[in-house]
Amino acid sequence: MSQYAVSKENLIYSFDAHMNPILTVPSGSSLTFHTVDALGGQIKQDADTVDALDFSKVNPATGPVAVEGAEPGGALRIDILDIETDSYGVILAVPGLGVLGNAVQFPGTKVVPVGGDRVFFDSFSLKKQPMIGVIGTAPASGSIACGTPGDHGGNMDTRDIRAGHSLYLPVFQPGGQLAMGDVHAAMGDGEVCGTGVECGAKIHCSVHHIPSFPIRRPLLVTPTEIQIIASAETVEAAAKLAVEDLVEHLVLTHALAFNDAYMLASLAADVRISQLVDPLLTVRACLDRRYLDSGTSI
Ligand code: CA
């Protein structure tokens, strides 16, 4: 049972540098965010179609919540405890959207049952693996639509942002200002058609303020890996940002020379595509945590 509930009446469509919190909680609090799907719950049946996706109006996030004591130069750690999805999800084909958007002749909608640990897509049964598409903090300046990812987080559409994993987000503004939404019951790396199984959900998490943890962009910790998540206009540019951070991390944690850290990253790290379909593209540089634990031979 969470200490705080954030209702889905509290929606934002952009992460603003100076947005006002709807709630302020102490570090260490447990919260449940009630979230709507990427289309705001407007699609209920296969006959409801979407002709075009306006990234300035999709992916509403629930929040923001301020964390007491959070100040620029620190980070928020969000421990994702559980994600309960609605009993159905929506998948869209939209002309112009996704990797093959130009080949989509007319819009298509599929509303699929989500039950137990499965998603049922026609005769296919897929493993249900709920993930958070949009999660972020107030940016350093300006306003960033919830459809766009960035150093503040936002629409990262990264399948590993899920229960059992911890996400560190930079704090750029007092309180951090955490908001989240856009849950997918299942999605592959790339999100090639531009949607996952889009669901309303309840996200159970705990939030901690980590002082003096000056990360530049989101960092995900899973039981086995650290993942640095970067977004940019191209895959190559996003990969460069993520790898730069990872190599710097290795230099600092192992006191390695740059060349050695660079070579080690080449041997041990994977660069994975998170999504190829949003206004900026997202990749993550992933390293087995064994290479970070002290005393481990490498
Ligand atoms: Ca999304």
CA of 185 to the centre of ligand 1 (A): 12
| Mean pLDDT computed over 40-59 | 84
Residue 119 has pLDDT above 80, yes or no: yes
CA of 140 to the centre of ligand 1 (A): 22
Instruction: Compute the distance between CA of residue 87 and CA of residue 58 in angstroms, rounded to an integer.
Output: 21
pTM metric for this prediction: 0.96
CA of 133 to the centre of ligand 1 (A): 5
CA of 59 to the centre of ligand 1 (A): 6
Residues 6 or more apart whose CB falls under 8 angstroms from that of 274 comprise 156, 157, 158, 159, 189, 190, 191, 229, 282, 283, 284
198 pLDDT tier (thresholds 50, 70, 90): very high
CA of 61 to the centre of ligand 1 (A): 10
CA of 172 to the centre of ligand 1 (A): 22
Query: Residue 294 has which token pair?
Result: 């002290």
CA of 134 to the centre of ligand 1 (A): 6
CA of 292 to the centre of ligand 1 (A): 31
8 close to 36: Cβ distance less than 8 angstroms: yes
Give the per-residue pLDDT at 297: 45
CA of 122 to the centre of ligand 1 (A): 23
CA of 235 to the centre of ligand 1 (A): 17
Structural domains in the chain plus CATH codes:
3-219 (2.60.120.580)
Taking only the tens place, the pLDDT of each residue in 254-276 is 889 999 999 999 999 999 999 99
Residue 296 has pLDDT above 70, yes or no: no
| Mean pLDDT computed over 66-84 | 97
Residue 35 β-bridge partners: 201
Q: How many CA atoms lie within 13 A of 118 on its CB side?
A: 8
- Rounded mean pLDDT of the chain? 95
Residue 298 has pLDDT above 80, yes or no: no
Instruction: Compute the distance between CA of residue 45 and CA of residue 67 in angstroms, rounded to an integer.
Output: 38
Residue in 183, 160, 169 with CA at minimum distance from that of residue 137 = 169
CA of 156 to the centre of ligand 1 (A): 7
User: What DSSP character marks residue 151?
Assistant: T
